[in-house]
């Protein structure tokens, strides 16, 4: 009697069906794993970026008013010219000037009349933060660096100098001077527009010319908003918040209200889109409201504050 040792057609069809089912299940599992992995990576990157930008803003704002005991920075004289200086209708720029305000700490909105003229590539209607201060690392004449500006203090007074200045004295104390502006601009990575946290800062170039240099600090910073809290009755409690920080008190002058707190809000966006995710969320950044346009970018909102002891 002849016996057939091969597969019958029905057995083969069942085997193919089972194999197809297993392939479909494997493909779905792989796709789900890839989507979960992309989400995990993007959220981890957003939280890592958040830690960086929160630490940066807290550190800069906390030290933003330090001028080594000088109560009237407006009186400091300087003849330095700065290439592409960040001047505005409310501020003289890197150094004091006659008949112009010299603001140490201020915020504003790009596009307003008080926007520094160096922010020509900043995103319109985004906030900026300007800080002028002395660094906490006092140094001596022999340790002055070529690319820095310093405030020299002596018995006779204080003045701005560089390592090339002729009036340097070994008995003076020298503080590195920082003028920085943080803002948001768009850059293009592989043809895709990415919002980037930028910084302009005062440097001395190799040819000796002072200029505002530009750095890219962090990709994916989509929005910033700042609020200044005022103590109107000097009882140590914040009474009022405003979105425009232009305060004479931070320059050492007396004013009716004292700034006691600065709140800031940051909105981060993933650099790469996720085609499986659509964002329609709304984000309240203090006085501002940002609505995601239904794109494929994940976002993370962060808020913090710095309190001052007046």
For residues 63 and 182, which has the higher predicted lDDT (pLDDT)?
A: 182
User: Does a structural domain hold residue 16?
Assistant: no
Question: pTM for the whole thing?
Answer: 0.84
Identify the pLDDT of residue 248: 45
Q: How confident is the model at residue 285 (pLDDT cuts 50, 70, 90)?
A: very high
Identify the pLDDT of residue 39: 86
Identify the pLDDT of residue 239: 79
Identify the pLDDT of residue 33: 67
State mean pLDDT over 79-92: 91
Spatial separation of the C-alpha atoms in residues 192 and 299, rounded to whole Å: 17
Within 13 Å, how many C-alpha atoms sit on residue 257's CB side? Answer: 17
List, in order, residues 6 or more apart from 104 with CB less than 8 Å away: 64, 65, 67, 73, 131, 132, 133, 250, 251
Average pLDDT value for the chain = 87
User: Does a structural domain hold residue 13?
Assistant: no
* Per-residue pLDDT reduced to its tens digit, 189-204: 888 899 999 999 999 9
**In the chain, pLDDT over 90 holds for what percent of residues?**
54
Choice among 186-190, 221-225, 267-271, 298-302 with the minimum mean pLDDT: 186-190
User: Does a structural domain hold residue 130?
Assistant: yes
* Per-residue pLDDT reduced to its tens digit, 155-184: 888 999 999 998 899 999 999 999 999 999
Q: Helix H segments across the chain?
A: 9-63
Spatial separation of the C-alpha atoms in residues 223 and 127, rounded to whole Å: 7
User: Does a structural domain hold residue 3?
Assistant: no
Q: How confident is the model at residue 251 (pLDDT cuts 50, 70, 90)?
A: very low
Model confidence at 225: pLDDT above 90: yes
Model confidence at 65: pLDDT above 90: no
Model confidence at 254: pLDDT above 50: no
Q: Give the H/E segment covering residue 106.
A: strand 105-109
Query: Which of these, 58, 114, 67, 53, lies nearest to 262 by C-alpha position?
Result: 58
**In the chain, pLDDT over 70 holds for what percent of residues?**
91
User: Does a structural domain hold residue 1?
Assistant: no
- Residue 305's alpha-carbon distances to 58, 85, 227, in angstroms, are 7, 29, 9
* Per-residue pLDDT reduced to its tens digit, 19-62: 887 887 777 776 766 776 788 899 999 999 999 999 999 999 98
User: Does a structural domain hold residue 216?
Assistant: yes
Identify the pLDDT of residue 244: 64
User: Does a structural domain hold residue 7?
Assistant: no
Q: How many domains does the chain have?
A: 1
Q: How confident is the model at residue 287 (pLDDT cuts 50, 70, 90)?
A: confident
State mean pLDDT over 116-133: 93
Q: How confident is the model at residue 105 (pLDDT cuts 50, 70, 90)?
A: confident
Query: Residue 58 sits in which domain range?
Result: 34-307
* Contact criterion met (CB below 8 Å) for 216 and 189: no
User: Does a structural domain hold residue 22?
Assistant: no
Model confidence at 187: pLDDT above 70: yes
């Amino acid at each position: 009697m002849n016996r057939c040792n091969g597969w019958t057609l029905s057995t083969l069809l069942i085997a193919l069906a089972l194999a197809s089912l297993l392939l479909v299940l494997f493909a779905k599992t792989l796709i789900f794993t890839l989507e979960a992995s992309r989400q995990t990576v993007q959220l981890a990157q957003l939280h890592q970026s958040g830690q960086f930008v929160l630490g940066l803003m807290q550190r800069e704002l906390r030290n933003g008013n330090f001028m080594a005991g000088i109560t009237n920075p407006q009186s400091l004289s300087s003849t330095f010219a700065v290439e592409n200086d960040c001047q505005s209708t409310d501020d003289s720029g890197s150094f004091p000037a006659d008949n112009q305000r010299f603001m140490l700490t201020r915020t504003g909105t790009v596009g307003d009349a008080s926007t520094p003229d160096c922010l020509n590539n900043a995103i319109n209607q985004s906030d900026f933060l300007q800080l002028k201060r002395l660094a906490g690392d006092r140094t001596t004449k022999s340790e002055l660096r070529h690319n820095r500006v310093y405030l020299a203090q002596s018995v006779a007074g204080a003045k701005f100098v560089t390592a090339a200045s002729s009036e340097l004295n070994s008995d003076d104390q020298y503080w590195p001077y920082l003028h920085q502006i943080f803002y948001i601009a768009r850059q293009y990575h592989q043809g895709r527009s990415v919002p980037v946290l930028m910084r302009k800062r005062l440097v001395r170039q190799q040819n000796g010319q002072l200029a505002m240099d530009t750095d890219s600090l962090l990709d994916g910073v989509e929005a910033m908003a700042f609020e200044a809290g005022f103590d109107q009755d000097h009882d140590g409690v914040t009474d009022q918040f405003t979105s425009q920080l232009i305060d004479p008190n931070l320059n050492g002058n007396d004013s009716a209200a004292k700034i006691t707190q600065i709140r800031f809000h940051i909105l981060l966006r993933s650099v790469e889109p996720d085609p499986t995710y659509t964002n329609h969320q709304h984000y309240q950044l203090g006085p501002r409201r940002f609505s995601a346009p239904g794109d494929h970018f994940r976002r993370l909102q962060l808020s913090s504050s710095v309190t001052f002891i007046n």
